[in-house]
A and B are shown apart, each in its own frame.
Chain A
Amino acid sequence: MAAARSGDVSSLRAAPLVELRGITKRFGSLLANDAIDLSVDAGQVLALLGENGAGKSTLTRILYGLSRADAGEIRIAGKPVTMTSPADALAAGIGMVTQEFTLVGPMTVTENLMLAGSPLGRVDRKAARARVLAASERLGVPVDPDAVVERLSVGERQRVEILKALLGDCRLLVLDEPTAVLVPADVDLLFASIRRLTAEGMAVVFISHKLHEVVDLADRIGVLRRGRLVADLPAEGLDPVAIAALMVGAAGPADADLPDDVVDEALATAVGLDGAAPSTQAGPVDQGRPAALQVTGLSLAGDPRPRLDDVSLTVRAGEIVGVAGVSGNGQTELVAALCGTTPVTTGTVRVGDAEVTGLDVAARLRAGLGRLTEDRRGSVVLGMSVEQNLVLEDLDRFRTGPFLSRRRVRAHAEALIERFDIRAAPGDPIRSLSGGNMQKVLLARALERDPTVLVASQPTRGLDVGACQYVYAQLRALRDAGSGVLLVSEDLDELIGIADRIVVLSGGRLVGEVAAADATREALGVLMTGSREHAA
């Protein structure tokens, strides 16, 4: 199919629709884009692959006028253009859907779509509404023009973003990691829409860090690593393993300190050869084991619907229970209720043998609860040092009379830095640490207390492959040492890969449970989108 589509445009080969030449962008000492040459033709899908921080987003921001390149030029149909703002890009026929949607929440779909290019004077809502309907026809997915945007699902909002680009008469549509936020059913709809649009002659640049999801959509694949374009190949007949190796830079000297199995798993994740599961399930957990965490009938009132509705679950000693769900379906509230930062309306929480329902955070920590919260930077005090952050939750142990013993704090930090391989000195400001290292500090702080159960929320969000593998290894080690782990994540591959069981939250309710060994992305996706059927 890819061949057929590139065949259609071969007669127009004169000048590519959009061409990037020598694009270079530097942020301080970081070279985000290093002399990148890329082009895309009408009717073509170019997939841009690369890890977090490889420079994909920077490149597309330059293409869309949100950033300016330090060097290089952009040509459209052979003519050089300067992009100093998104308005220039729109005028040049370039539309973009960023990872963070740029929609005005309290406005309706139609109002949002009227914004671009609307006159200062009276606006014709009826005509605008009709244009929205016509554009959604082109997309092949119905969109309600009168819906208020902040009430739409993520998938629907993404469609509104694409409509926005279509109404701007774009000839090139840039999609920045469009599938990262979507449930599988919405991914299928998105891909169908992209195929419809390219059949009309639209060019699409599709950014992803997952090779397996773009192989049959893309005509060409470009791979970025550390700001450089390391591959630009036709998608047809490509070698997935070679591409994945380029993406994660398995052969690169900077990664030489990663053990081989980490690299292998990273490759598997990138390629998706085995459903991206670095599978190490311990097998079915003995039901006779003591409960590390027991949640019974947990509810949290909300308006108009309860934010948590009668949630009961048990995490036994020595198992990892995954919590899947589309963002905003109660995960944040569940974690807050377990950690004691939100009082629950009804229900009980037990950690080990102790009931902790009414206790505050400190008492829960003493009872054996460990936590890695969603907001990494909110879990440390950014203005303090690594060693200070490491003792924050346990000051009493380091006191001599009313004073903190600096010597013991320092010794504690040095021990943990050694044990958890944190790449920082005890006195470094924690602000200066990378996301991965900061997560190591938080893991160290939580695990050092030997928790009965660890509640980990999105522990690998924003981390690179190496740091992710480190977190997985620590979670598994904790499980194998006999603690329970509750892992809340939006990354299904991660859940399937390291959890023993997966429960699904939808609309604040637990709507299903599957053994990780039997779980598939598709089955979880069906549950996540609100179907109440329990997978047996």
Chain B
Amino acid sequence: MDFPVVAVLAATLTIATPLVFGALGALLGERTGVLNLGIEGTLYAGAFIGFLVAARTGSLALATLAAVVAGALAGALMALLAVTLGVNQHVAGIGITLLLVAACDFTNRQLFGGGQQTVTEKFGRLFAGGGIVAQYPMTFVAFLVLAPAVWWVLRSTGAGLRLTAVGENPEAADTAGISVARTRWTALVVGGALMGLGGSFLTLSVLGTFTLDIVSGRGWICIALVIFGRWKVVPVVLGALLFGLFDALQLQLAITPAFGSIPNELLIALPYLVVIAALAVRGRGVRYPGAYLTAYRRA
């Protein structure tokens, strides 16, 4: 059998792209001690707002910007609830996801319900026909700009030290004159913007339209990837690639006649099962950030 290795690897990178945006966005928040479970809704909002603005203005630049702003606002809402008001992070995050998914579905039905599927402009692939490197621009941004940038910021800058200090020991950061609230707000807003951008990849690069349940649990996968990668950039990106690889494999297997007897649902579940297995193996004995899930209040 002639297995299309190049196509699978190219698909791996494409599939991993929104995961890299989402997981690195989540990682920033979690390094400061805030788990943003609003990620699923934020990806969804990024996908929908990007689609909406593209449909109305025809400008991909404006649409991308709008998705980023929407994500940043979702991050700000999380910060308001979890940092400023000290609401339980799980409740705040899940609430944001429910709110954003419902609001996007509602707006979608109001504006685009009935009639034909609206199709928008979408980004084209660079290096078309170039095999593995025939990718959308955002894929290059994710792997060549964003991941190295986040890695460098965390490793070599004062901002990175602050993020880590706030997440590990907010009291220590506070006594060092670092504002815990401002650091967490910044991380959540920037992280939200990245999630919004990741969500818009699904509509503005891959599909050129919006469908219900377009995110289909990718946000939760990102949360798992951050734990899998132990809050470090390189393993998180590798985890995203691992998920992408299995997702690409199952897509390929689904259209390979030799595997036609395997139920499609089982194949779709494959990458999720791999992530669960990987977490079960690597997720043991994980050392969480010291202030994980904890609101900070001065005594």
Interface residues of A (CB under 8 A from B): 64, 66-67, 85-87, 90, 96, 98, 100-107, 111-112, 114-123, 164
Residue of B nearest to A88 (CB): B177
Contact indicator A85/B177 (Cβ below 8 Å): yes
Q: Give the residue of B158, B159, B172, B177 whose beta carbon is less than 8 angstroms from that of A112.
A: B172
- Minimum CB–CB distance for B106 against chain A, Å: 39
Q: Can you show 15 pairs from A to B with CB atoms below 8 A apart?
A: A66-B175, A67-B298, A85-B174, A86-B174, A102-B169, A102-B176, A104-B165, A106-B290, A111-B161, A114-B158, A115-B162, A115-B173, A120-B157, A121-B158, A122-B158
- Minimum CB–CB distance for A86 against chain B, Å: 5
Residue of A nearest to B299 (CB): A66
Bound together, the chains give a CA A86 to CA B174 distance in angstroms of 7
Q: Is B156 an interface residue (CB 8 A)?
A: yes
Q: Could you say which residues of chain B place their CB within 8 Å of the CB of A121? A: 157-159
Mark each residue of chain B from 165 to 198: 1 if its CB lies under 8 Å from any CB of chain A, else 0: 1001101111111100000000000000000000
Closest 3 CB pairs of A and B: A87-B177, A118-B158, A102-B172
Residue of A nearest to B186 (CB): A120
Interface size range on B against A: 20 to 34
Interface residues of B (CB under 8 A from A): 156-159, 161-162, 164-165, 168-169, 171-178, 287, 290, 298-299
Query: A102-B169, A105-B169 are known contacts. Are A120 and B158 too (CB-CB below 8 A)?
Result: yes
- Minimum CB–CB distance for A96 against chain B, Å: 8
Contact indicator B165/A107 (Cβ below 8 Å): yes
- Minimum CB–CB distance for A137 against chain B, Å: 22
Contact indicator B169/A123 (Cβ below 8 Å): no
Contact indicator B298/A105 (Cβ below 8 Å): no
Contact indicator B175/A123 (Cβ below 8 Å): no
Bound together, the chains give a CA A369 to CA B169 distance in angstroms of 39
Contact indicator A104/B168 (Cβ below 8 Å): yes
Bound together, the chains give a CA A105 to CA B167 distance in angstroms of 11
Q: Could you say which residues of chain A place their CB within 8 Å of the CB of B175? A: 64, 66, 86, 96, 98, 102
Contact indicator B162/A118 (Cβ below 8 Å): yes
Q: Could you say which residues of chain A place their CB within 8 Å of the CB of B178? A: 115-116
Contact indicator B156/A105 (Cβ below 8 Å): no
Q: Give the residue of B157, B177, B299 whose beta carbon is less than 8 angstroms from that of A116.
A: B177
Residue of B nearest to A101 (CB): B172
Bound together, the chains give a CA A123 to CA B299 distance in angstroms of 31
A121-B157, A122-B157 known, 7 other contacts, Cβ within 8 Å: A66-B298, A102-B169, A104-B165, A104-B172, A104-B173, A106-B164, A115-B172
Bound together, the chains give a CA A106 to CA B175 distance in angstroms of 17
Contact indicator A115/B176 (Cβ below 8 Å): yes
Bound together, the chains give a CA A98 to CA B161 distance in angstroms of 22
Contact indicator A123/B156 (Cβ below 8 Å): yes
Bound together, the chains give a CA A255 to CA B164 distance in angstroms of 48
Q: Give the residue of B158, B176, B290 whose beta carbon is less than 8 angstroms from that of A123.
A: B158
Q: Could you say which residues of chain B place their CB within 8 Å of the CB of A101? A: 172
Q: Could you say which residues of chain B place their CB within 8 Å of the CB of A119? A: 158
Q: Could you say which residues of chain A place their CB within 8 Å of the CB of B169? A: 102-105
- Minimum CB–CB distance for B48 against chain A, Å: 33
Bound together, the chains give a CA A116 to CA B175 distance in angstroms of 8
Q: What DSSP secondary structure best describes chain A's contact surface? A: loop
Contact indicator A115/B168 (Cβ below 8 Å): no
Contact indicator A106/B168 (Cβ below 8 Å): yes
Residue of A nearest to B160 (CB): A123
Bound together, the chains give a CA A102 to CA B164 distance in angstroms of 14
Q: Could you say which residues of chain A place their CB within 8 Å of the CB of B173? A: 104, 115
Q: Could you say which residues of chain B place their CB within 8 Å of the CB of A103? A: 169, 172
Q: Could you say which residues of chain B place their CB within 8 Å of the CB of A107? A: 161, 164-165, 168
Contact indicator B157/A117 (Cβ below 8 Å): no
Residue of B nearest to A119 (CB): B158
Q: Could you say which residues of chain B place their CB within 8 Å of the CB of A85? A: 174, 177
- Minimum CB–CB distance for A13 against chain B, Å: 32
Query: A90-B177, A105-B168, A115-B176 are known contacts. Are A123 and B157 too (CB-CB below 8 A)?
Result: yes
Q: Could you say which residues of chain A place their CB within 8 Å of the CB of B290? A: 104-106
Contact indicator A115/B161 (Cβ below 8 Å): yes
Q: Could you say which residues of chain B place their CB within 8 Å of the CB of A120? A: 157-159, 162
Residue of B nearest to A64 (CB): B175
Contact indicator A117/B159 (Cβ below 8 Å): no
Q: Could you say which residues of chain A place their CB within 8 Å of the CB of B176? A: 86, 102, 115-117, 164
Residue of A nearest to B171 (CB): A102
Contact indicator A104/B164 (Cβ below 8 Å): yes
Q: Could you say which residues of chain B place their CB within 8 Å of the CB of A122? A: 156-158
Residue of A nearest to B159 (CB): A120
Most chain A C-beta atoms within 10 Å of own C-beta, residue among B156, B159, B162, B165? B165
- Minimum CB–CB distance for B87 against chain A, Å: 23
Q: Could you say which residues of chain B place their CB within 8 Å of the CB of A102? A: 169, 171-172, 174-176
- Minimum CB–CB distance for B245 against chain A, Å: 31
- Minimum CB–CB distance for A33 against chain B, Å: 15
Bound together, the chains give a CA A105 to CA B171 distance in angstroms of 12
Residue of B nearest to A91 (CB): B177
Contact indicator A117/B172 (Cβ below 8 Å): no
Residue of B nearest to A95 (CB): B175
Most chain B C-beta atoms within 10 Å of own C-beta, residue among A100, A103, A114? A103
Q: Could you say which residues of chain A place their CB within 8 Å of the CB of B159? A: 120-121
Bound together, the chains give a CA A86 to CA B159 distance in angstroms of 19
Q: Could you say which residues of chain B place their CB within 8 Å of the CB of A115? A: 161-162, 165, 172-173, 176, 178
- Minimum CB–CB distance for A152 against chain B, Å: 14
- Minimum CB–CB distance for A107 against chain B, Å: 7
Bound together, the chains give a CA A508 to CA B122 distance in angstroms of 65
Bound together, the chains give a CA A280 to CA B287 distance in angstroms of 47
Q: Could you say which residues of chain A place their CB within 8 Å of the CB of B157? A: 120-123
Q: Could you say which residues of chain B place their CB within 8 Å of the CB of A112? A: 172
Q: Could you say which residues of chain B place their CB within 8 Å of the CB of A96? A: 175
Bound together, the chains give a CA A120 to CA B169 distance in angstroms of 18
- Minimum CB–CB distance for A28 against chain B, Å: 15
- Minimum CB–CB distance for A120 against chain B, Å: 4
Q: Could you say which residues of chain A place their CB within 8 Å of the CB of B156? A: 122-123
Bound together, the chains give a CA A87 to CA B168 distance in angstroms of 19
Most chain B C-beta atoms within 10 Å of own C-beta, residue among A86, A101, A111? A86
Bound together, the chains give a CA A225 to CA B162 distance in angstroms of 39
Q: Could you say which residues of chain A place their CB within 8 Å of the CB of B174? A: 85-86, 102
Contact indicator B177/A86 (Cβ below 8 Å): yes
Most chain A C-beta atoms within 10 Å of own C-beta, residue among B159, B162, B169, B298? B169
Contact indicator B171/A123 (Cβ below 8 Å): no
Residue of B nearest to A125 (CB): B156
Residue of B nearest to A96 (CB): B175
Contact indicator A118/B172 (Cβ below 8 Å): no
Q: Could you say which residues of chain A place their CB within 8 Å of the CB of B165? A: 104, 107, 115
Residue of A nearest to B158 (CB): A118
- Minimum CB–CB distance for B286 against chain A, Å: 13
- Minimum CB–CB distance for B156 against chain A, Å: 6
- Minimum CB–CB distance for A324 against chain B, Å: 29
- Minimum CB–CB distance for A98 against chain B, Å: 8
Bound together, the chains give a CA A101 to CA B175 distance in angstroms of 10
